[in-house]
Structure 1
Amino acid sequence: MKRVLPASSKKDIKAFIDFQHDLYADDPCYVPELFIAQRDLLTPGKHPFHEHSEIQLFLAYNNDKIVGRIAAILNNNHNKFNQVTDGFFGFFDCINDGEIASMLLDKATEWLRAKGATSLIGPVNFSTNETCGMLVSGFDTPPFVMMPHNKEYYNALLEQLDFRKRVDLLAYYFGKDGYNDKAVKLQDVLTERLKNRGITIRPVNKKKFQEEVDKIREVYNSAWDKNLGFVPMTEKEFNYMAKDLNLVLDTDFCLVAEKDGKHIGFALALPDINQALIKVKRGRLLPFGLFKLLFGLKKVNGIRIITLGVVEEYRKAGIEACFYASIINAYRKKKYEHAEASWVLEHNELMNKAIQQINGIPHKRYRIFEKAI
């Protein structure tokens, strides 16, 4: 008998997380999330998202076997900021069974409709500030850090249920030397030009990390506020994310632009720790996962350029080019072999053009779906 039930207990949350490991057991591109991090993300009281919004987890069963999962997400801050009544689904995984997919999405719809939502958008976990999008092309390589991976048949399952594309997100690949270093050659000239305007670019100061984080959050919430589906991060949410990222942060890849002591731009790239996480069985650090992770981190040879933005009044001044030049120089110095710039909205012409001009190759495409409910 097929059925979908709410999942709320500690046992349920554990099963919710572990289902993904079982589903992808034979997928060489699957990278397990750390269990502790996923558990805290999904547990009210652990992650600051739950202070202003709601989620409901569901598990699908065929007799006593778990065959699917989904989270219904009511992001109150998103709806208030964008003046909409959206509902979201996330953490979606299931076997290749249209009936199971339909049952899961129906449950999420039912829960969200009762909360006043009039649309269902996803996959989004919990907003575009976190992991989002469904992979629709580029299944032949593992995802870079903090990017999703899923089964190829998911796209068809959603389309069969009348979900339609809302927007695509692009990921660009750079090989070891497969980039245009024009920005590097112009860096000295651009840096001097910025200096004459009172603008400097420097690495984040880890000794004043919290002070830096507070200023970067202001830039982040300003520079990305016009992106589709954007919602400002609360102070607690941003600090929570910063604390996690600080564990793997390399300041050569974490840069700020300043004018008169005020942050006006921010760029972040992270080592692709997924190259190490892929070997951590079922996302458990104990008993042996921690050693695999620490050993694997020493062999990481790629980075992901996650964020690069400038507040509106200082765009096109050369700051973005200087950010890229600095990242390329650090990439060379540390002898990394590949990089990904992700993600970029498909209609963000300025950013797509900039990445293509330095020979970025679009190698993965992710899709966010929507449906009126």
Structure 2
Amino acid sequence: MGIEIRRVETKRERKQFIKFAWKVYRADPELDRQWVPPVISDYMKTLDTKRYPLYDHADLAMFTAWREGRMVGTIAAIENRRHNEIHQDKVGFWGFFECYDDQDVANALFNAAAAWLKTKGLDTMRGPVSPSMNDQCGMLVRGFDSPPVFLMLYNPEYYNRLVMNYGHHVGQELLAWYIDQDKIDIARLRKIGQHMMKREQLTIRTINMKDFDREVARIRAIYNKAWEKNWGFVPMTDKEFDFMAKSMKSVAKEHFIYFVEDKDGRTIGFSLTLPDMNIPLKHVNGNPFTPWGLLRFWWYGRNIKAFRTITMGVLPEYRNKGVDSMLNAHIADYGGQHGLYSSEMSWVLKSNEAMSKLAKVIGGIPYKEYVIYEKALV
């Protein structure tokens, strides 16, 4: 029973590649209970090298594994030239890994990705990164008892074993922090925020959705500066950032996107928090744009009370002055007034002690853990 590896070439094959995940998760009732199917049309765009802006400076190869005429696994390999230029290394990435609990199939998939990455002159493979660090990344290794929040991943527990048995080691660990609104000391956070604003002569405001394009430009400028020294970070191009912003605009909520400005009106920090759209997406089977899907999406999304803080950014000269605390104070304060019951802060590098300290201050609990693996390409 040999394993055949096929390269994905056509649009039809790309859709087959995406839909394979349904076979893995729907076969196990416990996995199916927690898993949130991805939006098929979104993944089709992400894996379209002619449409997705990442591929202006990256190459992608997708592979499927077959046994006796049946698809049994998927993987994508990515060469991100911009990453290697910035970090001065030769790292290749793998992502979109889905597989039955079969080490031989997993090995064949990783071998295919590794062989393609070697043809690009790369010496290390790193993943899962699907398809960049600005998209979805990390393998879940702790926290399988609850579903993923919006734009975070879920996977079977045995994936970790398949990856490690192939010879990967842990490269970085990522945390997701659970924030219980009932356990936040709102009064204390409000006091911290007010003190910080007065001391530094700062003001805070929500996003102006009527001036969306210029607001996005402000976020982009801070995001790229604030994160430039983080592990694995690659600044987004204007085209990438605008593409991402456009895709999120429909789910953005005015009172959960904040800007901090100095006394001269210059934007020096921001926070981006979005509703947990996985709550309605769980019920549409990857197709929210069909008539039935739209109805179910509306029904389950009528009153979402869980959110995810995706990112915060503060200019370097304002770090360690409490701006992050001020942003969190406003998010928590507004949430407490409007029935928010929980939020997730994710993802955060486990080695980022400053962010972990901030999460603890607002009552956060590290309830999910993800791993990005690495392996030398010999």
Q: Same fold, TM exceeding 0.5?
A: yes
Note the C-alpha offset of 1:364: 0.2
- Alpha-carbon displacement from aligned partner over 1:107-165 (angstroms, at most 9, x marks no partner): 00000100011000000012211110000000000001010000100001111111000
SS at structure 1 position matched to 2:366: strand
Q: Residues 284, 272 of structure 1: CA spacing in aligned structure 2 closer, same or farther, 3 A cutoff?
A: closer
- Alpha-carbon displacement from aligned partner over 1:326-372 (angstroms, at most 9, x marks no partner): 10012112201111111110111111011112210110000000000
Q: Is 2:159 the partner of 1:158? A: no
Q: Is 2:334 the partner of 1:368? A: no
Q: Paired residue for 2:38?
A: 33
Q: Paired residue for 1:24?
A: 25
Q: Paired residue for 1:280?
A: 284
- Alpha-carbon displacement from aligned partner over 1:152-186 (angstroms, at most 9, x marks no partner): 00001111111000010000112231224322232
Q: Quote the Cα distance in structure 2 between the aligned partners of 1:117 and 1:258.
A: 43
Q: Paired residue for 1:342?
A: 346
Q: Quote the Cα distance in structure 1 between the aligned partners of 2:290 and 2:124.
A: 41
Alignment of 1:113-128 (within 5 A): 113-128=118-133
Q: For 2:143, which of 138, 142, 149 is the aligned residue? A: 138
Indicate conservation of the 8 Å contact 2:59/2:79, yes or no: yes
- Identical aligned residues as a percent: 39
Aligned partner of 2:332: which letter?
A: I
Indicate conservation of the 8 Å contact 2:179/2:362, yes or no: no
Q: For 1:218, which of 217, 221, 224 is the aligned residue? A: 221
Indicate conservation of the 8 Å contact 1:302/1:339, yes or no: yes
Q: Quote the Cα distance in structure 2 between the aligned partners of 1:201 and 1:318.
A: 13
Q: Quote the Cα distance in structure 1 between the aligned partners of 2:251 and 2:174.
A: 25
Aligned partner of 1:50: which letter?
A: Y
Indicate conservation of the 8 Å contact 1:21/1:282, yes or no: no
RMSD of aligned residue pairs (Cα, Å) = 1.2
- Alpha-carbon displacement from aligned partner over 1:185-233 (angstroms, at most 9, x marks no partner): 32222222232xxx32211111111111112111000001111100000
Q: For 1:233, which of 233, 236, 247 is the aligned residue? A: 236
Note the C-alpha offset of 1:95: 0.3
Note the C-alpha offset of 1:35: 1.0
Q: Quote the Cα distance in structure 2 between the aligned partners of 1:365 and 1:135.
A: 6
> More displaced, 337-346 or 260-269?
260-269
Alignment of 1:155-194 (within 5 A): 155-181=160-186, 182-194=188-200
Q: Is 2:330 the partner of 1:329? A: no
For structure 1, the 5+ residue unaligned runs are none
Q: Paired residue for 1:51?
A: 56
How does the TM-score come out when normalised to structure 2?
A: 0.95
Q: Residues 284, 252 of structure 1: CA spacing in aligned structure 2 closer, same or farther, 3 A cutoff?
A: closer
Q: Quote the Cα distance in structure 2 between the aligned partners of 1:211 and 1:203.
A: 14
Note the C-alpha offset of 1:284: 5.0
Q: Paired residue for 2:256?
A: 253
Indicate conservation of the 8 Å contact 2:284/2:297, yes or no: yes
For structure 2, the 5+ residue unaligned runs are none
